Every structure is written in structure tokens, then in C-alpha cells.
Amino acid sequence: MSGWPYAAASIGAAGPHVHDLRHTGNRFAANSGAGLRDLMTRMGHDNERAALIYQHEARDADQRTTDAIDSHVQAERDQGDDDGSAGVLVPIG
């Protein structure tokens, strides 16, 4: 990977290492729903430990997303019903 430092410096990003790209790619894969075996294959590992770390990070991201959606829904509910009779069930018959 001797060309990496030059490539990174040429775009003004001398700090990142080539391993950072691998880490980022594995995080993206885990966040997209890749399974444990898929992550292990992608990383070239036969040990589950590293893949489990990425999956744990993905679950934390899922929980933050779920919490944000719940907060938004609750805020909409707290504003009250400003749609008038829209959405009201009407008895038939």
C-alpha cells in the first residue's frame, strides 16, 4: 500500500489510513443488514468476534433511528388534531 500516503495527501487527507477504508466499508455492510457470515467473508475472518462488533454498532444505529422516529411521532401527536374530520371513521348502514 505504498501509494496510499501519497493518494491521501493529494486530496488533503493525510491522516486516514488504508485500514480506515476497510473499517468504513464493514460498517456500511453491517448497517445495510449483512449477516454475520457475510461480514466474516467480507472481512476475510474465520473468527466471529470482529463481525459481531460491527453488527453491534449497526444495532445501536438502528435504535437511534427508531428513537428519533418515535420522538417525531410523539411530537405530531402532542400538537393535537388539526386535520378536522379527516381520518374519522364514519358508520355505514
40-58 pLDDT, tens digit each: 888 888 888 878 877 777 6
Residue 42, classified by CB atoms within 10 Å of its CB into exposed (0-12), middle (13-18) or buried (19+), is: middle
DSSP state of 9: H
Show the beta-strand stretches assigned E in the chain. none
Alpha-carbon distances of 89 from 83, 85, 92, rounded to whole Å: 13, 9, 9
Write out the chain's pLDDT in tens, 93 residues: 467 778 878 888 777 777 777 778 888 888 888 888 888 888 888 888 878 877 777 667 667 777 888 888 888 888 865 556 666 777 786
Q: Which grid coordinates are listed for 79?
A: 400538537
